[in-house]
């Protein structure tokens, strides 16, 4: 049973060895002309101004939590959509209940003002 996994282990081992060899080769053979610009942190073209380790608003956390909540919904909706015909009426009713419960949650979140930034 384990033998079937040998090719996968070979690929993983090959990948690790190839990666290390390439990085080391680059270090030995490549020219190095460092400047301040090159050594600074890459920030998608923006100029890094100060440290990233500082306190930030809890609102970001709120948005992240809400995003995950409603993102997970899709994880359930997608397989249901694929197997819609096989699951039949019972599946339709079950998912409707699920979505209604989520909608109640959305209503709560909305009324409590968690969707507003200020």
Binding residues with another protein: total (CB under 8 A): 15
Nearest to 19 by CA among 29, 30, 27, 31: 27
40 forms part of the interface with another protein (CB under 8 A): no
CB of 53 to another protein, least distance (A): 20
In 66-98, which positions are buried (b, 16+ CB within 10 angstroms) versus exposed (e)? eeeeeeeeeeeeeeeeeeeeebeeeeeeebeee
Nearer Cβ to another protein, position 11 or 64? Answer: 64
Minimum distance from residue 18 beta carbon to another protein (Å): 32
Residues 77-116 that bind another protein (CB under 8 A): 86-88, 90-91, 93-94, 101, 104-105, 107-108, 110-112
Alpha-helix runs per DSSP H in the chain: 6-29, 36-39, 59-82, 84-111
Which positions lie near another protein, rule CB under 8 A? 86-88, 90-91, 93-94, 101, 104-105, 107-108, 110-112
């Amino acid at each position: 049973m384990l033998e079937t996994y040998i090719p996968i282990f070979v690929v993983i081992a090959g990948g690790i060895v190839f990666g290390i060899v390439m990085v080391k080769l680059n270090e030995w053979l490549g020219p190095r002309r460092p400047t301040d610009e090159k050594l600074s942190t890459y920030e998608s073209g923006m100029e890094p101004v100060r440290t990233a380790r500082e306190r930030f608003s809890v609102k970001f956390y709120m948005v992240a939590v809400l995003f995950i909540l409603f993102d997970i919904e899709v994880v359930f909706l997608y397989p249901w959509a694929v197997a819609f015909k096989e699951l039949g009426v019972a599946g339709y009713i079950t998912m409707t209940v699920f979505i209604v419960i989520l909608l109640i949650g959305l209503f709560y979140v909305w009324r409590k003002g968690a969707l507003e930034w200020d």
